[in-house]
Structure 1
């Protein structure tokens, strides 16, 4: 049977789908299927430490909203592998629908908490890496003054650079010797202003420069 190609991304706009995906086990399962390829609920349980029953339940919930699907669903009754339907998940930063906005914001917070947990685990193991990898890892920040258009353009330019390496994700043959899986986070947010918002076109006194690691 010819393997069905994976879409580039799945867009979540239904508040029910957004809330469903915010569960940490479901995010873990989707990430697992994207990284390791199709696997059964039993294998997913072995890799995640969850029970088979838990993995089966969460995979069915993910399938309900189009994030995963069974391979060969019409085949024999043996346990079937599950596969991710897309290489990435996207959801709106803004919506006129308050229900979508609330669900999207909750999902973003859940993803941020998941990233923080995984990053903490990685940093606790940092000392076991080779010197070359320890020096290559990045943990830094800076503050920029940008317009919405400039921030959008900067994100697009970074995305284009990252895409040059992202083609290796689904094709191991493209990975050079010594390559390892490196989650690369991109976070840019508008810092809360102190006091009332300035009127359009007005200037505000510049804030003191922030030192690395001390974003105000």
Structure 2
């Protein structure tokens, strides 16, 4: 996945730090999930001023995360879009500096917040989804004895499977956007 044009591979702590801002990471996520939008549309969505969202979008553009949408619907509006589908970085490489460690920790924490929010939203709306979605939705955990290289291959294979299944399901009336989260952390003991 890291060699894909859909992936923005960040190697500079300043670049990662630029997106590791509470509003910027939300703006980028919204553009990735829902497509192009104006600063005003995003301001309304997130309860911010359009001046604030405009500033933060320009900062994201400065560091290569977003760009003006070349397919503007109207010459009077300035629509923004995400340049890449994913952002990735080397924990080892960025962990060499305090600002790199801080930015990558913020983004990992943000990923967890998004996962928790998605689960909580589903639980609140559970009755509106119907039996097939109630049965399919959920989480799982497992323990395995793996080497670091195997975990890397596991992420690559999972990503490939997701893209394959997405292509298979294209056009199906049952298709919904699904939030997927994959995590692997070494553990020296049972700590649940």
The two structures share one fold, judged by TM-score above 0.5? yes
Q: Within 5 Å, which residues of 2 pair with 1:79-94?
A: 79-94=77-92
Aligned to 1:202: none
Measure the CA separation in 1 of the matches of 2:102 and 2:61. 22
Measure the CA separation in 2 of the matches of 1:16 and 1:166. 34
What's the offset of the Cα at 1:40? 1.0
Q: Within 5 Å, which residues of 2 pair with 1:196-207?
A: none
Q: Is the contact made by 1:24 and 1:114 (CA closer than 8 Å) also made in structure 2?
A: no
Aligned to 2:31: 33
Measure the CA separation in 2 of the matches of 1:21 and 1:93. 16
Question: Per the alignment, do residues 30 and 165 of structure 1 end up closer, same or farther by CA in structure 2, a change over 3 Å counting?
Answer: farther
Aligned to 2:173: 177
Flag the structure with higher strand content. 2
Greater radius of gyration (CA): 1
1:81-113 CA distances to partner (integer Å, 9 max, x unpaired)? 111111111122211632434432332223323
2:64 to 48, 52, 66: 66
Measure the CA separation in 2 of the matches of 1:162 and 1:120. 23
Flag the structure with higher helix content. 2
Q: Is the contact made by 2:39 and 2:50 (CA closer than 8 Å) also made in structure 1?
A: yes
What's the offset of the Cα at 1:180? 0.5
Gaps of 5+ in 2: none
Question: Per the alignment, do residues 77 and 190 of structure 1 end up closer, same or farther by CA in structure 2, a change over 3 Å counting?
Answer: same
The number of residue pairs the alignment matches comes to: 185
Aligned to 1:97: 96
Q: Displaced runs of 4+ in structure 1, greater than 6 A?
A: none
Aligned to 1:188: 184
Q: Is the contact made by 2:115 and 2:179 (CA closer than 8 Å) also made in structure 1?
A: no
What's the offset of the Cα at 1:149? 2.6
Question: Per the alignment, do residues 164 and 127 of structure 1 end up closer, same or farther by CA in structure 2, a change over 3 Å counting?
Answer: same
Measure the CA separation in 2 of the matches of 1:83 and 1:167. 22
Measure the CA separation in 1 of the matches of 2:167 and 2:54. 30
What's the offset of the Cα at 1:132? 1.3
Q: Is the contact made by 1:59 and 1:68 (CA closer than 8 Å) also made in structure 2?
A: yes
Aligned to 1:43: 41
Question: Per the alignment, do residues 9 and 154 of structure 1 end up closer, same or farther by CA in structure 2, a change over 3 Å counting?
Answer: closer
Measure the CA separation in 2 of the matches of 1:131 and 1:64. 45
Aligned to 1:152: 152
Q: Is the contact made by 1:21 and 1:62 (CA closer than 8 Å) also made in structure 2?
A: yes
Q: Is the contact made by 1:10 and 1:90 (CA closer than 8 Å) also made in structure 2?
A: yes
Measure the CA separation in 1 of the matches of 2:88 and 2:155. 15
Tell me the TM-score normalised to structure 2 length: 0.81
Gaps of 5+ in 1: 1-6, 195-206, 208-214
